[in-house]
Structure 1
Amino acid sequence: MFSQDFKERHRLSPTAFTRCRKLSFPILVLFLANFLKGSLQDELDQFFQAFFRWDVAKRWVTRSAVSQARRKLSHRAFIELLDTTCRFVDQHAPLVTYQNHRVFAIDGSTFRVPNRAEFEQEFGQIRQAHHRCILPRFSILHDVLNRLTYDAILDHNKTSEGNAAFRHLEETELPAKSIILLDRGYCHFTLLKSIKTLGHQYCVRVSSERNIYKSFVKSGKRDMVMVLPVPKEVARKASSGSLFSKPMMVRMIRFHIKGEMFILMTSLIEKQKYSRQDLIELYHQRWQIEESFKSKKARLKIEEISGLDPDAARQDFHAKIFAEALTSALLLQEQEHVDAYNDRTLNHYKLCLTQALAKMKNTIALLFLRNKPRPILKELSEIFRKSLTGSAPGRTAKRRASGRYIVKIQIFAPGYKSNR
């Protein structure tokens, strides 16, 4: 069925050509990383149609074969691929930094999976409105200045945000002296102390329930260095002489947005090096992790899993995280061209991640299996540069006033879509 002309026309390496004749490990990994959104069989047919350049899709591999093959595949393979991608980016990509600091954010969210006993045992079940559903919790460590997801965790829905953040710090080798942006739910003494112990810095929004929040507001100042005491529960568990038994020097910053007051607490206490306005603008970059959640849910469709067991859900989740990170890494190479283009125009433009993700579908496999992938990378660069979107810095959307709202709940609408 395969001739020499076929191999030359598709420019496949001898090893890749052999692997394509069956569902081998590399083909399975690349297929799962191909942004699966439709039914499993349709995705298989379209994948091999694009790969072999058929005029009409053929039944080359069945979904049953994929289901059997993926049982021998660990989701850790995609985590290792993500780590390799991030390490390569750290060493070779033109990265955006803040005063030579990499800036990350940590936050979590949930998504819905089928109501099956296997998922309930693995991820737990919660009650929402008039029905029960299974909402696994996932947490990400995101490079907000370069729009790159550095680490991702999928766990039980009862896993706290703090525990997930500790896992990110333990399992990920962050670049030295990184700055981590955190929301109010992460304002814990132990977590902040751990970040400092690892040689990193933090900037976190403070909840109004904290004593240090009340003390700072009472002082009437906008920028002030204070002492963060050790909480009693932490002092009881910490051994004498340990780092967790000592208080921390922190810097408190107050600012207002449309009449609403915000308080930040940071370990960057050098006022001459890190100005108050710079830190306020830096913390605003935390919004990029919210944009990342939107991309993962609305563009990558992480709720649409291709199997009915927890292992398949983990494989799909981490495969899409890796594929998105690979796409973001390729976009970093084009940022210099976009900056040069913005210097010549009145408007401000940025690279469109949505278009990039669409163009990477059915292309990821070719990048790894083609004998000479440089022509593909060149074509991707050209289409990325043409897929710019307008940006309006400082634009804000009007928030709803506080109070009760009438919420329409679609009780019978499924929150997920199984791709089987």
Structure 2
Amino acid sequence: MEKHEICKLIIQKIKQYISSPDCLEAHREKNHFIRKRKLSMLHLVTYLFYTTKASMYQNLAAISEDLSPDNFPSVSKQAVSKARQHIKPQLFKELFNLSVDLFYKNIRKRKTWHGYHIFAIDGSRLEVPNCKSNFEFFGEMFTVHDKNRKFSSGLSSVVYDVMDDYIVHASLHKYLASERAAALDHMKNLEALGIYKDSIIIFDRGYYSESMFRYCTDNNHYCLMRLKEKIKLTRACHGEKVTTLAGDPKLKTCDIPIRVIEVILDDGTAEYLATNIFDESITVDMFRELYFLRWPVESKYYELKEKFLLEEFNGKTTTAVFQEFYINLLLTNLTALIKGSADNIIDTKMKNATKHRYQANRSFIIGRIKRIFPRILCSLTDISAIDDLTATSVKVKSMIQPGRKCKRRNLKQIRRKHFPNLKTAF
């Protein structure tokens, strides 16, 4: 099944799910949405999929015009804000998981690197609104320059299918939570889905530990982990070396081999990688190429934060943060499916002699899917709109610039960028 066809299937299943009172029943707080009122649970779910990063007054005015009063009644913003607190975020997590299950059950052919599927696990700081519930859940933090000014942040973590541009599993934790614990949860999810065989998981620096490496080896996960400099494993490595991680009888662990690789970057600095892949046909240069395949997971966070404006939360509470977190993950996966189909069509039409390669414009697809998706849920637009969007995306394309590099920003001084009382006007 082509990717845009999978996108249509996912949207149809979501529409069936949220239209079923029995399915929604499990996701409402006790003693709420039990009487027939002006604002139903289905209205609120539709609103949350529709809402933009503008103010609630703008969103409420626009949704009545775009989706008609039959699909969304005229209500105050206070009514919407209060009612959404009684919808469990688990609903949107379940819809996101539904999109993942349907993708891997229906994808016709997955892309590989030398026969391996590639996953990348990474975490990122997520700025959340300052409010009592967020301070209690995510914790309180203070700026270096002003100890009296507190703020709150979360740690988001994802496992990302690099070759097929798809987020497989995600979680949101306290900022000081363990990235390794989140990574273990991701790997268990890959095992539950049954998609970890013939795959390699790439980890950035900071994830390596002996227990993490042992888990990968014991559970048949091929892995590639970047090592911190000046640790015992890296000091003894020049080029490539196979060594042994000694077991501990008290912990009932045995000796396991580990392959350590030195990679020289373009500026002459050395990076070190650890892996449990002992296939000699995969050379040092190939491992260097493989490690840099993890970069799209960084781009995915950029997409979520800069294109979807994930950190510009419409609600302030922890419930609202988790609702919008999973909604945006779902939308970015739908975007990836449409872009994947459009890119395949562009590649098919492209001639070998063409100087530059092109891809569908992701920002265009994001803007359109955000508008089309709620209209399909309300039966105002037919599901064939996804076919039309795919065809249009083939024409709205941008040039691929291979080898482009960007200098990292100076992160020594981090200032707050997102304020609930400052919303975009459109």
Fold shared by both chains (TM-score > 0.5) = yes
Correspondence for 1:163 among 169, 173, 181: 181
Q: CA deviation at 1:372?
A: 7.4
Counterpart of 1:116 in structure 2 is 131
Structure 1 residues 419 and 365, CA gap change in structure 2 (3 angstroms): farther
Percent of pairs with identical residues: 23
Distance 2:291 2:153 in 1: 29
Q: Structure 1, residues 176-219: CA drift from partner, whole Å, max 9, x if none?
A: 322111011101121222223333211111111321111113xx
Counterpart of 1:31 in structure 2 is 47
Contact 2:261 / 2:272 at 8 angstroms: preserved in 1?
A: yes
Task: Tell me whether 1:250 sits opposite 2:258 in the alignment.
Answer: yes
- Output the amino acid matched with 1:123: F
Q: CA deviation at 1:363?
A: 1.1
Structure 1 residues 248 and 340, CA gap change in structure 2 (3 angstroms): same
Contact 1:334 / 1:385 at 8 angstroms: preserved in 2?
A: yes
Q: CA deviation at 1:326?
A: 1.9
Query: Structure 1 residues 146-155 or 27-36, which shifts more?
Result: 27-36
Q: TM-score, normalised by structure 1?
A: 0.82
- Output the amino acid matched with 2:175: N
| Paired residue secondary structure (2:153) | coil
1:1-400 matches, cutoff 5 A = 23-34=39-50, 36-52=52-68, 60-93=74-107, 94-131=109-146, 132-172=150-190, 173-174=192-193, 175-177=195-197, 178-217=199-238, 222-230=239-247, 235=248, 238=251, 240=252, 245-257=253-265, 258-272=267-281, 274-344=282-352, 345-370=354-379, 373-397=382-406
- Output the amino acid matched with 1:107: D
Q: CA deviation at 1:357?
A: 0.8
Structure 1 residues 199 and 41, CA gap change in structure 2 (3 angstroms): farther
Distance 1:319 1:348 in 2: 32
Distance 1:126 1:185 in 2: 22
Distance 1:301 1:89 in 2: 25
- Output the amino acid matched with 1:60: S
- Output the amino acid matched with 1:91: K
Q: Structure 1, residues 249-273: CA drift from partner, whole Å, max 9, x if none?
A: 222222211211111111211112x
Structure 1 residues 306 and 253, CA gap change in structure 2 (3 angstroms): same
Contact 1:16 / 1:369 at 8 angstroms: preserved in 2?
A: no
Q: Structure 1, residues 22-75: CA drift from partner, whole Å, max 9, x if none?
A: 644344223323363111232233234222499xxx973432332233233111
- Output the amino acid matched with 1:86: V
Q: CA deviation at 1:414?
A: 5.0
Q: Which runs of 5+ in 1 are unaligned?
A: 1-12
Distance 1:306 1:406 in 2: 26
Distance 1:61 1:285 in 2: 48
Contact 1:149 / 1:325 at 8 angstroms: preserved in 2?
A: yes
Counterpart of 2:4 in structure 1 is none
Contact 1:51 / 1:362 at 8 angstroms: preserved in 2?
A: no
Structure 1 residues 47 and 38, CA gap change in structure 2 (3 angstroms): same
Q: CA deviation at 1:143?
A: 1.4
- Output the amino acid matched with 1:67: S
Q: Which runs of 5+ in 2 are unaligned?
A: 1-14, 22-36
Q: Structure 1, residues 222-266: CA drift from partner, whole Å, max 9, x if none?
A: 233322334xxxx4862x2xxxx1232222222211211111111
- Output the amino acid matched with 1:334: A
Distance 1:406 1:279 in 2: 28
Distance 2:237 2:103 in 1: 40
- Output the amino acid matched with 1:141: V
